[in-house]
Amino acid sequence: MPHSLDMVFNLYGDYFRHRTGEGWTGSLIELLGLLGLSSQAVRSTLSRLSRNGWLQSRKAGRYSFYSLTPKCVQLLEEGEQRIFHPRSDPWDGRWHLLIYSIPESKRHLRRRLRTRLRWLGFGMLNHAIWISPRDARQEVRQLADAFGLRPYVELFVAQSPTFARDEEIVTRCWELQGLNAYYAGFIDRNQPVLRHYRDLLAAEDTVQPQACFVQRSKLIDDYRSSPYVDPNLPPELLPEDWLGERASQLFQQLNELMSKPAGAFVDAVLAKAPPIRPIGRET
């Protein structure tokens, strides 16, 4: 079962962000209840996200509403880009190396930098050298500035002499075998779901919006971890039996089939939110 925080982030990222950006507690309880969260768990999770600066709360009489903060919008936009619009440009044969020497007094920032480098698709060549086949200089500069680490970070561009050496670098820096096994499992779990929905459409059967919302939530939760661990390497550097592209196509096909009815269901739930009246007039 997905973590309650992930479920709330998914709901805001997939639906609320593209609507008003704000959700009434009652709407959140109804939608997340369909995914297995109790009303108490929803309220507790919303409070925690608000305390940590991911959501902003406001009161309108006895009603509570939660909206996105700028840092949450940024996080959701980055996630959407990685999940729905991954980079697909060909490799130019060059490697981009990041070398850092961060003082021990800033080791907490070192950990945060490593996490963000993995998110950008970098692999660890050794404890202080990270490498990527993608040109991420702009993102790295922004990251170094945000963490105040610009004096401790250097970027270089290099090229290995042989393709065999490139293969060795990939094997050393990224654990693609385990990721490929994950993609195989994702395909096995979701290929029957795709057939089911295609059969329904072919028979002109009604696709239930609520069922689509629940199934799409499961799909996104099943797939969402892959962009966080998949370095999105260029095809030239991937093994011949790579299943990532097939899994991505399956995800996109299922998402396309379910997004419209799922969105219609969310709109129906949001329409139940109480109208906002001037303070003192709520009943």
Q: How would you class 202 by CB atoms within 10 Å of its CB: exposed for 0-12, middle for 13-18, buried for 19 or more?
A: exposed
**What's the whole-number average pLDDT of the chain?**
88
Say if residue 2's pLDDT is above 70.
no
Predicted pLDDT at 38: 94
- pLDDT score of 62 more than 80: yes
pLDDT at 271: 92
pLDDT in tens, 254-277: 999 999 999 999 999 999 988 765
Q: What is the DSSP string of 182-222?
A: HHHHHHHHHHHHHHHHHHHHHTT----HHHHHHHHHHHHHH
List pLDDT tens digits, range 69-120: 998 998 888 888 878 877 778 899 999 999 999 988 888 898 889 988 988 8
pLDDT score at 45:
94
Residue 128's pLDDT band, with cuts at 50, 70 and 90, is: confident
4-14 helix and 39-51 helix, angle to the nearest 10 degrees? 80
Q: Sign of dihedral through CA atoms 25, 26, 29, 34?
A: negative
The predicted structure's pLDDT at residue 281: 42
pLDDT higher than threshold 80 for residue 180:
yes
Q: Considering only 25-39, 111-125, 162-176, which range has the smallest mean pLDDT?
A: 162-176
H or E element, residue 170: helix 163-173
To the question of pTM greater than 0.85 for the whole model, the response is: no
Q: At residue 99, what are phi and psi to the nearest 5 degrees?
A: -120, 130
What percent of the chain has a predicted confidence (pLDDT) above 70? 94
- 181 confidence band (pLDDT: 50, 70, 90): very high
